[in-house]
Structure 1
């Protein structure tokens, strides 16, 4: 027997970041939108916990117990007095270390799959609680759709979305360390009074109306300056995408993937083609959102 769960990538349409807290985290107002790029996580019984992975950039995925999918299995097993003896296979399609929550998606996918495989009957609240223990983005990977994340991003409020949004994601060569980007954010803001993060009401209204132009005018990412400081070449990618006709572009989360909002699917295809030919990114991927959260296949 095996169980397969499909889980989406995300884009942060707003990422407002507060100053560093005593615990090293930052308070956030993080508006997530799930998009249709997916990893598939399959779990099956095994003699011991092991992980395999295939797909683009699979060589960059850790195959030990530091992987969030492995940690998810261990946490669920521990709560229910089980041994985490499963083979977890990740069919990877979400860019690795790209600011699109691929690792978090795998954690949420493994958690849901192991719950089904073992018949633990965990409630939604318990699954979300385990997700929050795993990382700030993991609860949203389980939830999907659109949501406002507060605290360090793990406290979620689902958001209304009035229509579909079409995106192009420019995947950079190599990754960016999320802790390094936050560290650079702190360095750039040293001696500055960082305001409390607050969700933009015009942005929430644009999501609710399904209005791409209004959403484009309100996109923001407080980590973008830090990501550009560590990877200045991302400015060329952002310029290439907007020159090709995107309504707006921004660094996705902590980067280095950049995200471009377009008016429709045809425009997204045109922007992706131009980005692919620009020499400013490794590849360009088209996706739309909102997408459903982690769900069992079959």
Structure 2
């Protein structure tokens, strides 16, 4: 499942385009050693999940944005620091479009939670503006622009399940059968991705063998791909991995306690999502997810139940 859908009927100039883009979980995330430029090569398996962002694009003389949502959006920038605005400006620059756009972003992916919400906004803005402005870029060109905006943006376009290598933006679709149910525990206080990577480098410099990088370029464990193809949540739980988890837990020790707590309530495994601090618990089925979520909610956690894989960025309506 997956793939960019931006079908828009030809005709008069559009006044409004609504696009949805999915958040993601990293069900596997191997991080290579730090490179001379300070970045890390990774080997990731992304899964798009049913927590989605909605972006409405309408014509404007300038580039402006408003943000609402079911998650805390207080810290979301409303200027050119916002990745959706940067995406719209990049598309205009690359296509010679001389107007602007007003974007209304309705967020349902936790902010700074390691689930790619900002990247989903950028992907949605690219697709929405492409439709609104009738620029008609080929899909490959949109993916190129997406990769220039951030490593997670191309996957938000694609959706479904995919292997990411290099900086995470070199994508190969992966087959996943069935449905995987996740219980998310979100945290209002985000973790900075660069800080988490820096902490991983610091911990590795202490020669900790449990988090040492793989020899050579990082690769995806074949067992992960086999589990996804089989729709086997129990096998996926045994093979799932996030090399950033130790660093995130070192920066925020309560995350390690939370992971143990969720597993104690019946989760097959618990993963810090990306650089965190969202924790994703894999459940055996929807009923198990409901039970795990109920117990975690009773303990005062902010909980939501999502499933994957779901499709990529798509135009919902255009008029």
Aligned to 2:90: 75
Gapped regions of structure 1 (runs ≥ 5): none
Residues 73 and 114 in structure 1, CA contact (< 8 A), matched pair in contact too? yes
> Equivalent of 2:121, from 85, 88, 106?
106
Alpha-carbon distance in structure 1 between the residues aligned to 2:284 and 2:99? 46
Q: Deviations over 1:200-243 (max 9, x none)?
A: 00111000110011111111000000000111111121122111
User: Are 2:313 and 1:294 aligned?
Assistant: yes
Aligned to 2:57: 43
Q: What secondary structure sits across from 1:109 in the alignment?
A: helix
> CA shift at 1:84, angstroms?
5.1
Map residues 1-298 of structure 1 onto 2, 5 A cutoff: 1-55=15-69, 56-83=71-98, 85-190=100-205, 192=207, 194-195=213-214, 196-279=217-300, 281=301, 283-298=302-317
Gapped regions of structure 2 (runs ≥ 5): 1-14
Q: TM-score, normalised by structure 2?
A: 0.91
> CA shift at 1:289, angstroms?
0.3
> CA shift at 1:57, angstroms?
1.0
Residues 73 and 84 in structure 1, CA contact (< 8 A), matched pair in contact too? no
Paired residues, number? 296
Q: What secondary structure sits across from 2:44 in the alignment?
A: strand
Q: TM-score, normalised by structure 1?
A: 0.97
Deviating above 3 A after TM superposition, structure 1's stretches of 4 or more consecutive aligned residues are none
Alpha-carbon distance in structure 2 between the residues aligned to 1:123 and 1:52? 28
RMSD after superposition: 1.0
> CA shift at 1:66, angstroms?
1.1
Residues 237 and 275 in structure 1, CA contact (< 8 A), matched pair in contact too? no
Q: 1:137 to 1:179 in 2, by over 3 A?
A: same
